[in-house]
Amino acid sequence: MEATEIAEKVSSGEISARTVVEQHIEIINEIESDVNAFNLVTAEKALIDADEIDSKIASGETLGPLAGVPISIKDNLCTRGIETTCSSKILEGWKPPYDATVIEKLKEAGAVIIGKTNLDEFAMGSSTENSAFGPTRNPHNLECVPGGSSGGSAAAVAAGFSPLALGSDTGGSIRQPAALCGVVGVKPTYGRVSRYGLVAFASSLDQVGPFANTVSDAALTLEVISGHDPRDSTSIPEKPLDISGFLDQGVEGMRIGVIEELSGKGLGGISQDVISRVEDAIKVLSNAGADVEPASVPASIYGLSAYYVIAPAEASSNLARYDGIRFGPRTEAATTAETMTATRTKGFGDEVKRRIMLGTYALSAGYYDAYYGKSQRVRTLIMNDFAKAYEKFDLLISPTAPTTAFPLGDKTADPMQMYLQDVCTIPSNLAGHPAMSVPFGFGADGMPVGIQILAPAMAEREMFQAAKILESESGNGIE
């Protein structure tokens, strides 16, 4: 059942929230041991919350737009009193004393949190294999990765554990797993959704966004979590989004550009399967009345390089607080400094350490300008190139990921190969623009392919209109 349908039926009393939650827990019990989407299933708490919703409905209270809808939460979003680990040993057992703003908003809307989902440690990775608690598997093929870093959330939605999930996207961490798992995943405009309570990876790039099986469910969830938050200084002073009422307005007359540099003609590594699905998408959008043409964002090919300086630089600072002094497990040693070193050596996994070292180096005296400074200039170039492209186009499209889901262990030996998974998604993070992945058929291997729709800052509504068109013709069974 879709989230919108659940909320309607729960609100009207047609079905109880408890029944909805129980049905989802049943599915979890059946196949979660194969998928490993969750770090923690909060079944007991979810049932209590469901009962509370049911009693509110019984007493005639009006509930929010997500009444009784189970939702899975990426385990880097703070949930009060519920363990929040970032899939890292360094936060094992840590229970935040507060809810992230998005969690508060979900609760207010009547959503029921059903569990905390697995991720690449501190959201660093593209396969959810960098988790201290074991990898998540792709529900479409358990031998394959779900993508990452929000692989647990994408898998949870794809497996039917919950119709909705939240993830975070720093370089593609919502869109790429959404593509690999065949679900809708949205990275909103930077500042559209509060980051308060999102455990920071790279603060200038991180953004929270929804996963759903349908474009309309994703829209509804984004509406609920968006809006200005005085606790986040980078939050845009705007009202929550209003998308749902515009979803069926189509793309008639819209000018849509296909980013050449990200669609096989510039960067290598984009598979033929994916390229041909992009070509199909062009046809669908053209048939729906859009004017689709090739577009160029020349600097986007440098996105990956700039990203792997900026994101690790910010991460090296953001992750410095995990020293075992105030929270999380501590490894005792002779002095304070040695205790911090021992705690961090034991607590962080290899990929996290690699990025801390990269970032520390990039910010060091004498190297700052050559690395961090230069990367920021590349970032400006990318923004300028996008701005130029958006003079001609209302929206841009590209593949979400270069390939369909790959087998576990396929890319773990070579970090560069893994990093290339995000080549199409990173430019939007650097620009701060919204982008989303819509499932659009399958590759020859039977695994899902996602199309990425990119929009200028604040243009989520138009982006969703195009997503709705692709969804209706995606051939993945959802009409």
Pairwise CA distance, residues 177 & 144, whole Å: 12
Cα-Cα-Cα-Cα torsion 275, 216, 51, 195, nearest 10 degrees, comes to: 70
Based on the shown chain and the rule CB under 8 A, indicate whether residue 276 belongs to the binding site for another protein.
no
Which of 84/221 has CB closer to another protein?
84
Catalytic residue, chosen from 74, 107, 116, 468, is 74
Among 96, 152, 172, 456, contact with another protein (rule: CB under 8 A): 96
Which of 66/315 has CB closer to another protein?
315
> Could you tell me whether strands 184-187 and 38-41 are parallel, antiparallel, or unpaired per DSSP bridges?
unpaired
Based on the shown chain and the rule CB under 8 A, indicate whether residue 368 belongs to the binding site for another protein.
yes
Known active-site residue 74: yes
Residue with tokens 């961490």: 173
Interface mask toward another protein for 181-220; x: CB under 8 A: --------------xxxxxx-xxx----------------
Q: Residue 114 Cβ, how far from another protein at the closest point, in Å?
A: 20
Among 232, 260, 273, 410, contact with another protein (rule: CB under 8 A): 232
Among 337, 357, 370, 387, contact with another protein (rule: CB under 8 A): 337
CA distances from 456 to 81, 203, 266, 429, 465 (A): 38, 20, 22, 12, 14
Known active-site residue 168: no
Q: Residue 398 Cβ, how far from another protein at the closest point, in Å?
A: 26
183 and 211 in contact (C-beta within 8 Å)? yes
Among 19, 305, 360, 417, contact with another protein (rule: CB under 8 A): 360
The stretch near another protein (CB under 8 A) out of 110-118, 242-250, 314-322, 461-469 is 314-322
Residue with tokens 């949930």: 79
Among 63, 275, 363, 478, contact with another protein (rule: CB under 8 A): 363
Known active-site residue 149: yes
- What's the Rg (C-alpha) of the chain? 21
Checking phi first, is residue 428 left (phi over 0); if not, alpha (psi -120 to 50) or beta?
alpha
Among 265, 283, 321, 377, contact with another protein (rule: CB under 8 A): 321
Pairwise CA distance, residues 380 & 401, whole Å: 24
What residues have CB less than 8 Å from 311, skipping those under 6 apart? 170, 171, 201, 202, 205, 355, 359
Query: What's the maximum distance between 2 C-alpha atoms anywhere in the chain?
Result: 70
How far out from the chain centre does Cα 49 lie?
A: 25
Based on the shown chain and the rule CB under 8 A, indicate whether residue 457 belongs to the binding site for another protein.
no
Q: Residue 230 Cβ, how far from another protein at the closest point, in Å?
A: 7
Q: Residue 429 Cβ, how far from another protein at the closest point, in Å?
A: 12
Which of 166/198 has CB closer to another protein?
198
What residues have CB less than 8 Å from 220, skipping those under 6 apart? 3, 4, 65, 66, 244
Q: Extract the tokens encoding 371.
A: 């690395």
Whether omega for the bond prior to residue 149 falls within 30 degrees of 0, making it cis, is: yes
155 and 462 in contact (C-beta within 8 Å)? no
Pairwise CA distance, residues 410 & 127, whole Å: 10
Give 292-317 as a DSSP string: EEEE--GGGGGHHHHHHHHHHHHHHH
Catalytic residue, chosen from 173, 235, 300, 428, is 173
Which of 78/220 has CB closer to another protein?
78
Based on the shown chain and the rule CB under 8 A, indicate whether residue 98 belongs to the binding site for another protein.
yes
Q: Residue 381 Cβ, how far from another protein at the closest point, in Å?
A: 18
Pairwise CA distance, residues 476 & 160, whole Å: 15
The stretch near another protein (CB under 8 A) out of 77-85, 108-116, 217-225, 284-292 is 77-85
Q: Residue 191 Cβ, how far from another protein at the closest point, in Å?
A: 10
Dihedrals phi, psi of 88, to nearest 5 degrees: -125, 145
Catalytic residue, chosen from 11, 131, 149, 474, is 149
319 and 356 in contact (C-beta within 8 Å)? yes
Among 46, 100, 181, 435, contact with another protein (rule: CB under 8 A): 100
SS3 label, residue 398: strand
Q: Extract the tokens encoding 216.
A: 């309309």
Among 86, 132, 212, 297, contact with another protein (rule: CB under 8 A): 86
Interface mask toward another protein for 369-408; x: CB under 8 A: ---x------------------------------------
Which of 97/477 has CB closer to another protein?
97
Q: Name the β-bridge partners of 198.
A: 77
Based on the shown chain and the rule CB under 8 A, indicate whether residue 334 belongs to the binding site for another protein.
no
Among 141, 317, 412, 476, contact with another protein (rule: CB under 8 A): 317
Catalytic residues: 74, 149, 173
Which residues form the interface with another protein (CB under 8 A)? Answer: 77-78, 84, 86, 91, 94, 96-98, 100, 195-200, 202-204, 230-234, 313-314, 316-317, 320-323, 325-327, 336-337, 340, 360, 363-365, 368, 372
